[in-house]
Amino acid sequence: MTILEVVNVSRDVTWLPWAVQYFFLVGLSVAGFLLSLPGLAFGARSQRGFGRNALIGALACGLVAPVALLADLHQPGRFWRFYTNPNLGSWMAWGAFFIPCYVGGLLAYAWAALRGDLAAAGQGDDLVSRLRRLIAAGGAPAPRLTKILAGWTVVFGLLILLYTGMETMVVRARPLWNTPILPLQFAATAFTGAAGLTLLIARLRGDTTHAGDAVAARAMTAALLATIALGLAWFALGIFGLSDIHARALASVAGHRAWQVTAVWAAAATALPLLLLWLRPPGWAWLVGLLGLHAAWMFRWTVFIGGQTVPKTGAGLYVYQLPLGHDGLLGIGGSLGLWLFVFVLITTLLPDPVASRVRPALAPAE
């Protein structure tokens, strides 16, 4: 029997590129924060520079991510209803509480971890120095406070990873999303992106060290290997029929040429940075950093935008063309522009990396 679909409708993508930006940025933020812990909260002195760069990335991404999420509400002014009418049976409702707890904790942790650096750099009379002194509020090292705040932020950071994964995973109507591996894939690709972002931030700030690059390379290698393992497990569970859920997920996309191309692209986006991390050719860090970000972003784009082009009842795929306005390209560019602004703001406030390296005594005591 053959069926030709003669009349049907195409449903619009309703989780817009803003949602991709949110999941991308908040994932990078949490992973970057977690990568910063050994150097900034647990006294691994060799990782302090790496930790500082990872934290800068986490801050910039963590501050911009909620803006992208608000924009995806189709009318951001309604966000207050999340707090006045919460339905606590919904993962999204919990997310509305986790986000401010995480971002607040991240800011407090960053302040506690970096206030010594800020105070040391705020010795002059210029406006930035005075601002640094004001923010440092004395600047005495506070390792215990840093650890307490790190603990708070770890809890809510992990809850962010949990809710963003679960929020998508529980949607049974979309077989591609409805697999227990998806939250783990979000987490693994977030670490890939965060390690790549840290490599790039180190270069943008002129704060590259062999030790820092080695930590970033180790983190990204581990994340890429985890991504490959999860991807293979997802595919094997589906293709061999070991799990109905995964078989349905695979079947929902396997027959479409566009998805076959996407699969090859995803495999290349994972294998190529791994190869570069192994070979370390000149300029590897720039390339690997960008590829790491690409892997994290592309995974979310494929899951969210690609996933919404799979009809729930109809045949074929819905067509999606990226709009040029605020719901599309302008939104993506705008959120990246906001990220750049926050990054410049943070790096303007923080001391010059070379100067901070010659003042090691002002680093928080262990």
Chain contacts with other proteins (rule: CB under 8 A):
1-12, 14-15, 72-75, 78-79, 81-82, 85-87, 89-93, 95-96, 167, 170-174, 177, 252, 256-259, 262, 301-302, 305-306, 308-320
Cβ-Cβ contacts under 8 Å for 248 (sequence gap 6 or more): 175, 178
Nearer to other proteins, 135 or 171 (CB): 171
Please state the closest distance from residue 299 (CB atom) to other proteins, in A: 12
Quick one: angle between helices 91-121 and 143-169, nearest 10?
Answer: 150
Tell me how far, at minimum, the Cβ of 164 lies from other proteins, in Å. 13
Element (H, E) at 258: helix 257-279
The CB-of-311 to other proteins minimum distance in angstroms stands at 7
Residue placing its CB nearer to other proteins in the complex, 1 or 361: 1
Q: Rounded to the nearest whole angstrom, what is the least distance from the CB of residue 169 to other proteins in the complex?
A: 12
We find the least distance from the C-beta atom of residue 24 to other proteins, in angstroms, to be: 15
CA-nearest of 365, 358, 345 to 121 is 358
Give the phi and the psi of residue 349 in degrees, each rounded to 5. Answer: -75, -40
- What angle is formed at CA 153 by the lines to CA 82 and CA 163, rounded to 5 degrees? 45
Q: How far is the CB of 189 from other proteins (least distance, A)?
A: 16
Shorter beta-carbon distance to other proteins: residue 30 or 310: 310
Cβ closest to other proteins, residue 19 vs residue 202: 19
Distance of CA 194 to CAs 24, 60, 268, 366, Å? Answer: 10, 12, 19, 26
How buried is residue 69: exposed, middle or buried, by Cβ count under 10 Å (0-12/13-18/19+)?
Answer: buried
> Do 11 and 311 form a contact (C-beta atoms < 8 A)?
yes
- The Cα–Cα gap between 185 and 300 comes to 10
Residues 186, 222: Cα–Cα separation, whole Å: 14
- The number of angstroms, rounded, from the C-alpha of 64 to the middle of its chain's C-alpha atoms is 11
> Of the two residues 90 and 208, which places its CB atom closer to other proteins in the complex?
90
Calpha distance 133→152 (Å, rounded): 25
Q: How far is the CB of 57 from other proteins (least distance, A)?
A: 26
Kindly state the smallest distance separating residue 320's Cβ from other proteins, in Å.
6
Residue with Cβ nearer other proteins (170 or 242): 170
Nearer to other proteins, 78 or 130 (CB): 78
- Is the Cβ of residue 93 or residue 349 nearer to other proteins in the bound state? 93
Residue with tokens 């695979």: 250
Q: What token pair was written down for 362?
A: 């002002």
